[in-house]
Amino acid sequence: MIQAKLGFIGAGNMNRAIIDGLLSAGVNAQQLAVSNRSAPKLDYFADRGLTTSTSNAEVAAVSDVLILGVKPAQLLDVAQELKTICATNKPLVISVAAGVLTQQIAEVLGVDTPIVRAMPNTPSTIGEGAAGLFATAAVSDAQRELAKTIIEACGIAVWVEQESLIDAVIAVAGSAPAYFFTILETMVDEAQKLGLNAADAKALAVQTCLGAARLVQSTETDLATLRNNVTSPGGTTQAALASFSASGLDETLRTGMHAAVMRAQEMAAEAAGGR
């Protein structure tokens, strides 16, 4: 179990998802502190027993680990604000920001600062997150272990050995819950047009999504075989899949994932240029 004190900078969607995941996993609220520039978002966390503050420095002062969960455009300014306290207290720094490189953070905080880049996703909030992690050379084995334990309290986590692969994690996991939400929205909408009521349409589509994912997890059978198992020649599934294929669904998904990667690369340039 995690013994360290964790300080969350930014009380937005992603940090909240990680905090919810940690609390559900049994981490003591008294080990967690969170800061946000505007006060109202902090009420949710104060109600759950966390230390809260509108001062990032105050939270950093009581933390062994800092989880930076502000938007990429704000991240380096926040790092600048925490530079002195990081030099003194030497916390492990975990950034969840898309598109901000560890080198950019280290240029502000110092090259000997242990920095982990984590790319989690919002299902972390219910312990079903999927995250990629990258550690700089300044991160010790014990700190790697700690970072993984923190993120794994909210789901699964994999290490990548090159930082550029974090962009691939963004494409397949960080941004990807939204892909599935979009697909579900369309399916629920179309099922209603086909005559089902909204509640039944949603229940059926969501359970099918969940069931398909659980089926994949429960077996060694590869994805193509599972797909073939529901695709009788000349049947309804084959008709739907042939239509997807004719409309270029495969290419559409690949292009979308590349768009996510390209946007992450642009954001790194913006974060550097914005200072």
Ligand X SMILES: NC(=O)c1ccc[n+]([C@@H]2O[C@H](COP(=O)([O-])OP(=O)(O)OC[C@H]3O[C@@H](n4cnc5c(N)ncnc54)[C@H](OP(=O)(O)O)[C@@H]3O)[C@@H](O)[C@H]2O)c1
Q: What is the binding site for ligand X (CB under 6 A)?
A: 9-14, 35-38, 41, 56, 69-72, 74, 78, 96-98, 119-122, 174
Give the nearer residue to ligand X in terms of CB position, either 7 or 10.
10
- 64 Rama class: left (phi>0) / alpha (psi -120 to 50) / beta: alpha
Instruction: Give the 3-state secondary structure of 28-65.
Output: CHHHEEEECCCCHHHHHHHHCCCEEECCHHHHHHCCCE
Give the nearer residue to ligand X in terms of CB position, either 50 or 78.
78
Report in angstroms how near the CB of residue 28 gets to ligand X at its nearest. 23
Give the nearer residue to ligand X in terms of CB position, either 71 or 144.
71
Pairing of strands 115-119, 129-135: antiparallel
Report in angstroms how near the CB of residue 43 gets to ligand X at its nearest. 12
Q: Which residues contact 89 (CB under 8 A, 6 or more apart)?
A: 60, 61, 63
| Residue whose C-beta lies closest to ligand X | 12
Identity (one letter) of the amino acid at 71? Answer: K
Give the nearer residue to ligand X in terms of CB position, either 18 or 139.
18
Give the nearer residue to ligand X in terms of CB position, either 180 or 244.
180
Report in angstroms how near the CB of residue 10 gets to ligand X at its nearest. 3
Report in angstroms how near the CB of residue 211 gets to ligand X at its nearest. 24
Q: Is 188:203 a contact under the CB 8 Å cutoff?
A: no
Report in angstroms how near the CB of residue 25 gets to ligand X at its nearest. 19
Residue 183 three-state SS: helix
DSSP 142-166: HHHHHHHHHHHTTEEEEE-SSTTHH
